[in-house]
Structure 1
Amino acid sequence: MPKDAKWCGCATLNTDDPKLWIVEQSNWPDCESQGFTLSEVIAAGLHAKVTGLSDADRDAAIAECVADTLDTLTRLHESLTACQLAIHGCRSANSRKGKMFFRESKLIAHVRRVMGWVGGGVHKRIDENRELLELLRNKVPDFVAAHPEVVSWLQSQDDFLCELADRVPITEGQFLSLTKSPTLTFPRLWPGETVESLERQAAVAARRV
């Protein structure tokens, strides 16, 4: 509001009862403001604009005022539509995020159930995979020596299962309590007392830090 303005006030352009509240600047804020409906404001403005004009000029002024009003209403409608679309988009995005979060949470719960219980659980699978290598080395050492790829296959299986157990920790499982036993090493260590075995145990320990 300019300092030399005679009037000051505010507008409440709600859809039910749009009004313009004004008061003389010299009496602000000690006097009561005057409330006008939007139609009264437009009528007063139009009256002031056409007073003293010829019929032709008056018709032109009215036509210009109507055109300006329609243009303003069009822009307001466009702005309202844009806002409504933005709000709808936000709600839809939040809804999609909520549904996606629910689906992901449900999927993770299913994965953890499988890791805890199916086939004895992931820790049991690690233990038995290592037990199988122990058995092969003890019972058919010549076969293992002639086919080193067998050890590589079991090693890859061990790497995968260990990484899975580390990345997706479980809180329930058939043999989960054994992993926390102070007197039992479960799953058992990678079999053998070779440099390879020591390196693998160090790698597993490093992943858990």
Structure 2
Amino acid sequence: MPTPPPIPEEVHTPRLLLRRPQPADAEALCAAISASLPELQPWMFWAQTPPDVEATRENLQDVAAKFGTRENLRYHVWRVPEQAGGALELIGSSGYHALDWRVPKGEIGYWIATAHAGQGYATEVTHALTELALNPAEAGGLGFRRLEIRCDPANQRSARIPPMLGYALDAHLVNDTVAANDLAQVRDTLIFSRTS
């Protein structure tokens, strides 16, 4: 198995800080999820019930460990205050999943809390992570040869982002999965990709 390149624990964008998760994030993460459940539930299997802070803290220990072993590279999305001295606010999560370091390749997932939706944050995050992934390792990137984004075509907000960032639509898989909030409802999946 090839050795992954160094993975930054923080990624900065013009308005945001993407940071490796840590157990201390549990309360802020639960607050963001709880405030966004109605919008998350149609798309996210993990958002079907309100989160529990202690269970979330335990989960984040596992998430941090997997970041360390490069099995899964999740980042929490923090909004940087416009005024100096203001507090960071956790507004979502993103990162690289379904990693295969032999190629190497991965998949970007993302969600933004409802109160911050429609402000371009998901696009900003995805742009930054796309550039990091596809830049060569010698230029400070991860050297991915393939990067995917998968989403339900009915999730129009998510589906608009990949084409804006130069991703090609590789496939529209019909009856590929079930709805996160209704297991009796069959759903499609769009697969977008960029390669280097």
Normalised by the size of structure 2, how large is the TM-score? 0.22
Structure with greater strand percent: 2
Q: Which has the higher contact order (CA 8 A, sep 6+)?
A: 2
Normalised by the size of structure 1, how large is the TM-score? 0.21
